[in-house]
Each structure stands twice: as structure tokens, then as C-alpha cells.
Amino acid sequence: MERLGPWLARLTWLALPLVAGPALGDALDGASRPVQLVASIGLWVGWAGVLVATLVPATVTLTVLRIAAPAAVAAAVAATIAGGPSGADVAALVGTLLAALATVAPFTVEAFVDGSSYGEERRLPLRVPGVLALGPIPVVWALVVAGIVTGPLLLAARQWVAGAVALVVGALAAWWGVRVLHTLARRWVVFVPAGLVVHDPLALVEPVLLRRGVVTALGPAPADTRALDLTRGALGLALEVRLAEPVPLLVLRGRGRSETVTTGAMLITPSRPGALLTEARDRRLA
């Protein structure tokens, strides 16, 4: 599966017009001609844009996929509700769910995060904090999607005042939401020739370089560890990085608040702990 990298996401998204197109077309049958036209153009432009994004692995395109793939599932669900369950609706639901699962798969995320690396770097993503994944992230995602689609559809339905307001407010909401969601794609551990860098804008004010000679151990954290927790409550196996000497970190403690913490050990939660430990061993980091 690791060798597939982003290819599973590319292939499942490429197949969406075939598996989801009929159901979405049926759902639009009862709409006015302008709404049909705007919705169809939007769907095709969105599909083509995301397909191009799958071909350019980077953190920016990862954010695009993370927004678009669940939106495709939501569109398939809406089509099923609007037209009643049918074979086309089932195909659309299955196809969009597969595309969404391929997008969030750890090896896909890793390929896109590492696509932004330079030279001998290798970037490995950190898991999304559990508290955010269960609440705020879906809300922000819904604001982004609603901000993008509501205004044009209202204008197509000749709701001029509501459409104009929705277009302006939606653009602002989408701009803000995309910036928030993109922060999640910028959380990683990067191996460099000098050592290991922890880059996490949710936990640290600035990235921290842990030099090769300073890192003494890297492995699964014991249950009774007292290491500085940088996981932000992410679900999954936490790894403990032990240092030969304490290092100062500028840690975020809340909105607009930070403090300097000196620590000799810290906790991180990579998406694939085994891949990170293998990379550290191959580089003889610890």
C-alpha cells in the first residue's frame, strides 16, 4: 500500500464521473435550467481541478483533496435523499466513499506532505488532534463548502439579494476556513542531514531542530512518561524523543499565548510510527 502513494486517490477520483455522475444528474433533473447549468459547470470544474491536484503532491493540494473528497460524499448523500435510493445512488455513495478513504489514507497523506520536501529531506505527517477531528474540523469544512457553493446556486435560482450576500460572506468564510484547514497539512516531522525537525504550528511557535548528536533515543512512549506532550491529543501511538541535553521550546498554550519550556524529552504522534522509526534507523539518528 505504501508503494501506491497517491495513485489510489488519483484513480478513485478519476472514476467519479462514471460512478457518481448519473446519480448527480438525476438529482438535478427537477431544478431549473440555470441551476442545472451552474451546478454542472461547478461539478466538472471542481472534479478537473481536484484531479490536477492529485497529480501535484504538496501540502496545498493535500488541503484541496481534504476539502473536496468529503464534499463529493456529501453531494452523493444529497442526491440519494433528493431522488430516493437507486442503483445509481448506491454506486455514487460507494465511489465517493472510496475516494474519500483514499484521500485520508496515511500513505496518501505522507506522499503529499513529502512532496513539499527539498533535497535529502523526508517529511512524515503528524496525526490530526482527536478533539479537533471530532468537532471543530467538520464545522470549518462545512463552512468552506457552503461558502463556495451557496452563493452561485442562489444567484442561478434568481435569488439576487440572498445570492449576492451569500457570495460575499461565503467567499470570506471559505478563505478563512481554508487557511485553518491548511494548518493541519503543515504538521510534520522532517528528517534532514543535521537531524530531526518537529514542525507543528498547532504546538510550537516555530519549528525546532533536534541535532543528530542530541537525540539519544526514539521509540514508543511508556505509559508513565513525563515527556513534554506535543501531540495535542492526537489518537494513536505516541513516540518519545529523548535528548542528551535539555532544549528550549516556544510552546503554544492557547490563542495568542506561548511560553518557553526547557525539556529533555518530548512526545509526537506521527501518522505512521513504524515508517518514522524505520527512517530514523536508516539515517542512524539514535
Look over the chain and give the mean of its residue pLDDT values, rounded to a whole number: 92
pLDDT at 135: 83
pLDDT at 2: 67
pTM for the full predicted model? 0.92
Q: Is the pLDDT confidence value at 191 over 90?
A: yes
| pLDDT band at residue 100 under the 50/70/90 scheme | very high
pLDDT at 1: 66
- pLDDT digit string (tens) for 106-133? 999 999 999 988 888 999 999 999 888 8
Q: 3-state secondary structure string, the chain? A: CHHHCCHHHHHHHHCHHHHHHHHHHHHCCCCCHHHHHHHHHHHHHHHHHHHHHHCCCCHHHHHHHHHHHHHHHHHHHHHHHHHCCCHHHHHHHHHHHHHHHHHHCHHHHHHHHHCCCCCCCEEEEECCEHHHHHCHHHHHHHHHHHHHHHHHHHHHCCCHHHHHHHHHHHHHHHHHHHHHHHHHHCCEEEEECCEEEEECCCCECCCEEEECCCEEEEEECCCCCCCEECCCCECCCCEEEEEEEEEEEEEEEECCEEEEEEEEEEEECECCHHHHHHHHHHCCCC
Domain borders along the chain are 1-118, 126-186, 188-282
